[in-house]
Structure 1
Amino acid sequence: MDRLLASSASAQEATRRAIRGRRSGEGPRVRFGTDRAGMNAAARSESLTIGAVSRPTRRIRSIVFDTAVDDLGKQNILLRGYEMHGAAFVELSWARAATPGGARGSIELRVPSLEVGKMLGFSEPLRRSIANRPLEARSVAETERRERVLERAHTRIAVCFDDGFVECGGRRSNFHEIELQLLEGAEEEFWTVAAELAPRAKARFLPMSEVELALARATGAGVAPVKARRPTLAADASLDEAIVTALSACLDQFVANWPALQSHAPEEAIHQMRVALRRLRAGVGMLRRSVVSEALEAASAGARDISATLGAARNLDVLVDMLVAGPLAQANGEPRFYALLDAAERRRIEAHAAVAALVAAPATTQFVIDLRAALAAKAWRPPSGDAAPQRSAFDPSAPGTAKSFAMRSLDRLHRRAIKKSRDLAALTPDQRHQARIAFKKARYAAEFFESLFGAHAKARRYLRRTAALQDKLGAVNDLTVAAELLRGLGETDADLAPASAFAIGWCAHARAGAAVDWKKTERSLKTLETFWR
């Protein structure tokens, strides 16, 4: 898409500067959803009134355009027109596939009007990208925006209070959103303001606006689940930089999957949220030998509590899939097996509802904001006193400390994983589960620090082989967990007991069959080559 617009971009640069521009280089921003009472409480709060300079209220009408067959959406392009103060603007943004973190390119122009023909006049390449099919309004939003700028000693924060509605797909819904954006100054103070605001407004964190969500629902495309992004670190990065980068990536993955919970198949989003929190907890656990942080420990505890709800839903997702592919496929239409499946499905629906309630809960938003604030403040320190002799004490802000920390940590976690996987064939299910956890921690650490070392091919082989072993051990553990869930269903309802007992036996048989290659797997681990030494 960059090349698509190159022919017209230079001629439009003057116009872009003359109107609003892209405001590139600005600091972080955060968006909250709330209700009218929460909006009013936020507007009156000391956090957003002391040192605040108000701006005139603006009314904004925004329209998202696409063709009837979603030509732009399929190319991950967003074409948005909006009217403000009697002027019309158009914003075109698109994915930059090669850019880490999924950054988007964008261009914004003033146009004569939001009439489609006139609006498209600025870009022949855009017309070609939709094969000259007509554009239509896919969503329309009208917003009353009140703006303030918080002027602190060394920090300026823009605050927007948006009240409005969005019409999309024949449905209309109201929204109340608060957005904070750091214009200048310390990121630490920005997140402190956000952390103070969230409970007062009873706010929920919004990874994307209500308008974007409504459009995704109306087009039927939904929001795709987001997998883990491997951090990128400079070779001379400090441990401080590594902590911020790695844990931010975990948090990004966690919140990016919230919108996907509203899709028709939320199972993968739940799985990815759980993975994100596991990675976060593994990262905090790895750091305990070199830094002390009450804030990170609190984040790890919060992630553990959230993961419990996610884990319950994920286990039931696995159980339902297993019943359909395994015991049910051999049931020959026996009604009791379908009754067992129905009971598992009902529990899964309840578990998914619990996940949705968890994401919407103010405590989960507070978890996200508090961790952002801790990372911005670098709220950790080297160990001191009695803890220092047992820990590797060094200045985490010094250049190069990330690499030295990574080498020691990767050595330790790899040795532990190899030790726990000795004699795999003879291990109990619980011991194999512990081996799986050890390899998972080693792999997460390898993903966190891979970019510090130049051996990309060796790193890929290491990650591929450890992931394959983790999958094998995970499949066996899934059968064990499924058997426990089936036992609970059978004990709860006597009518389900026969089908439950059969399915438990099927799990035991499948688990026994999976043990035949453990000796071969253990031999292959002896040739597992590390990439950091």
Structure 2
Amino acid sequence: MTKTQDGAPVAEAEIERKYDLAADKPIPPLVPAGPVTNQADPRVDVLDATYFDTSDFRLAQAGITLRRRLGGSDEGWHLKLPVSEDKREELRLPLSGKPDKVPGALAKLVRAHTLGAKLVQAAHLRTERTSYALLDVNGREVATLTDDVVTGEAGGEKAHLDRWREIEIELSPGADPGVLDSLDQAVVKAGAERSRWPSKLRRLTDELVPSAGGASGSVLADYFAEHLDALRRNDIGVRRDVEDSVHQMRVAARRLRSGLKTFRRSLDADVANGLAAELRWLGGELGPARDNEVMAERLHGEVKALPAELVLGNVEQVMTRHFAREAEEAKARAVRALDSKRYTDLLRALEKLVGKPKKIKDDKKELRKAVARSDRKLRKAVAAASELKPGAEQDAALHEVRKKAKRARYAADTVRLVTGKKLRKWRKNVKAVQTTLGTHHDVVVTREVLRLLGLRAYAESENAFTYGLLHGRSVATAEAAHRRFTEEWQAVRKGSRPNWLR
């Protein structure tokens, strides 16, 4: 029986390989093979699984499976998310509620894919499973071999029935991934063939699931599709509070917005401007969570680096409480945005954009012009910042340079397929500028937090010395970053670049 952690789904990595095996073939002998020296007695289970999806199989198109399974040691609700060719992450909840209603905790996790469409029973699989635990010389289980006879029925516009046999080798938790390769050789040698299907469900429903298609023929459409996919993948991570998911989702949103603004002339201008505005809103909702992560990591690191005699008062504890409180509020804000109709409408509009590649005018000449414009805007921003004296106004101008550098770098990434290596050196130099000014901006923002923490400590009659010390050091760090930027900008200005970018 599946258990939960405070009502949240339990996560478990699933690393396995599937093989097709003729019905009259014996189970492949895996003793000995690789580290396997023994095989436990077989266990027989009958598994009855109902799969849920939208009527147009939106989850299946994304490689996601959602099922309610009876039988076996892990019966319950399972949500499987693709990670790599052999690896998926499985989220589990115990059986509860109505059998034809997906638990809200799982339905919410896939909202970026379903876009509010109802999850209905899409397929039914009955599996007669014989399992063998594969043991090493010390009697430890390193993998499980399963021999499955599957009967399936899928709905959709037309019913589909099928019956087949497959075997799986699933790696045990903590086992060396190399075990799969050694067992793979033995299985194939015994007459099995690697399955081309990532899951039983996909094998059953392949004729019913709309084709995801390959490259569209449009550089921009493929770029937008790539980062729309990243947005959706990290949506699930943000909802689950997975480390770095807010950052990665924010990057995906920023890349989409940057592409829409940089290549606006290749698109419908009104559509591009509207989407860019909505992505800016989304970035603003995700921003506090990410900014809080960056500041917490930076300041905790700086405090730990100080000699003990310079850390006066409960500085670490105060910072921990402050950032934990901010993190909770920022996470709630981000999830509210992801649950909103506004966000769902944004995803629909992005889908529509990438679904019509023929309406995008992105020949090589147009793409080059757009990159050249991003370069000119970057140069203009640098010139404006260089005329200002140190202070808040210059800090804001340098942040603007950073944004322009990031947009120029993203533009280079977008057109890589048509420009090849010609932009590599220029992109590298621009990224160096962006990274240095990123450090400068982080320090400037963190400085204000230090001031507030110092004032709070003073008001509560606590020692504020350490906050003042860190504030002073942040000023020196920002000045050093500014000097480094000045040097790196010369590399951008004088460095190698194609003639069309001059």
Confirm or deny a common fold (TM above 0.5).
Answer: yes
Q: Distance in 2 between the 1:123 and 1:288 partners?
A: 60
| Aligned residue among 355, 364, 367 for 1:403 | 364
| Aligned residue among 402, 408, 431 for 2:397 | 431
Kept in 1, the 8 Å contact 2:426–2:492? The answer is no
Indicate the residue corresponding to 2:432 in structure 1.
468
| Aligned residue among 473, 482, 486 for 2:450 | 486
Kept in 2, the 8 Å contact 1:145–1:163? The answer is yes
Mapping 1:453-464, distance limit 5 Å? 453-454=419-420, 456=421, 458-464=422-428
Kept in 1, the 8 Å contact 2:262–2:370? The answer is yes
- The gaps in structure 1 that reach 5 residues or longer are 1-63, 80-91, 93-106, 151-159, 179-193, 204-215, 222-231, 381-395
Sequence identity percentage: 19
What letter corresponds to residue 354 of structure 2 in structure 1?
Answer: L
What letter corresponds to residue 78 of structure 1 in structure 2?
Answer: E
What letter corresponds to residue 249 of structure 2 in structure 1?
Answer: M
Higher helix share: 1
Q: Does 1:292 pair with 2:268?
A: yes
Q: Distance in 1 between the 2:471 and 2:24 partners?
A: 68
Mapping 1:16-31, distance limit 5 Å? none
Q: Distance in 2 between the 1:140 and 1:473 partners?
A: 59
User: Any idea what SS the aligned residue of 1:529 has?
Assistant: coil
| Aligned residue among 308, 322, 325 for 2:284 | 308
Q: Distance in 2 between the 1:133 and 1:361 partners?
A: 54
User: Any idea what SS the aligned residue of 1:257 has?
Assistant: helix
Displacement of 1:485: 3.2
Mapping 1:29-178, distance limit 5 Å? 77-79=15-17, 92=18, 108=20, 121-122=27-28, 128=33, 131=36, 143-145=49-51, 163=68, 165-166=76-77, 172=94
Q: Distance in 2 between the 1:300 and 1:276 partners?
A: 12
Indicate the residue corresponding to 2:329 in structure 1.
350
Kept in 1, the 8 Å contact 2:433–2:485? The answer is no
Kept in 1, the 8 Å contact 2:221–2:354? The answer is yes
TM-score by length of 2: 0.58
Displacement of 1:523: 2.3
Q: Distance in 2 between the 1:142 and 1:197 partners?
A: 24
- The change in CA–CA distance for 1:509 and 1:246 in structure 2 (over 3 A counts) is same
CA deviation string 1:377-417 (max 9, x = no partner): 4596xxxxxxxxxxxxxxx45xxx42111111111111221
- The change in CA–CA distance for 1:374 and 1:413 in structure 2 (over 3 A counts) is closer
Mapping 1:237-386, distance limit 5 Å? 241-261=218-238, 266=243, 268-330=244-306, 332=308, 333-342=311-320, 343-361=322-340, 363-377=342-356
- The change in CA–CA distance for 1:292 and 1:505 in structure 2 (over 3 A counts) is same
CA deviation string 1:80-116 (max 9, x = no partner): xxxxxxxxxxxx2xxxxxxxxxxxxxx5556689xxx
Displacement of 1:465: 1.9
Indicate the residue corresponding to 1:447 in structure 2.
413
- The change in CA–CA distance for 1:291 and 1:374 in structure 2 (over 3 A counts) is closer
Kept in 2, the 8 Å contact 1:424–1:518? The answer is no
RMSD of aligned alpha carbons:
4.6
Displacement of 1:123: 8.3
Q: Distance in 2 between the 1:169 and 1:256 partners?
A: 14
Q: Distance in 2 between the 1:297 and 1:140 partners?
A: 55
Kept in 1, the 8 Å contact 2:399–2:437? The answer is yes
- The change in CA–CA distance for 1:502 and 1:170 in structure 2 (over 3 A counts) is same
Mapping 1:199-214, distance limit 5 Å? 199=116, 201=118
Q: Distance in 2 between the 1:521 and 1:246 partners?
A: 29
Kept in 2, the 8 Å contact 1:327–1:506? The answer is no
Displacement of 1:442: 0.8
What letter corresponds to residue 285 of structure 1 in structure 2?
Answer: K
Kept in 1, the 8 Å contact 2:443–2:478? The answer is yes
Q: Does 1:529 pair with 2:496?
A: yes
User: Any idea what SS the aligned residue of 1:530 has?
Assistant: coil
CA deviation string 1:296-329 (max 9, x = no partner): 4343222212211221111111111111121453
Indicate the residue corresponding to 1:515 in structure 2.
482
Q: Distance in 2 between the 1:134 and 1:469 partners?
A: 58
- The change in CA–CA distance for 1:405 and 1:349 in structure 2 (over 3 A counts) is same
What letter corresponds to residue 376 of structure 1 in structure 2?
Answer: G
Kept in 1, the 8 Å contact 2:54–2:114? The answer is no
What letter corresponds to residue 437 of structure 1 in structure 2?
Answer: K
- The gaps in structure 2 that reach 5 residues or longer are 1-10, 57-64, 70-75, 79-89, 104-110, 121-169, 176-213, 389-393
After superposing the two structures, state which structure 1 stretch, 445-454 or 336-345, moved more. Answer: 336-345
What letter corresponds to residue 318 of structure 2 in structure 1?
Answer: L
User: Any idea what SS the aligned residue of 1:144 has?
Assistant: strand
User: Any idea what SS the aligned residue of 2:314 has?
Assistant: helix
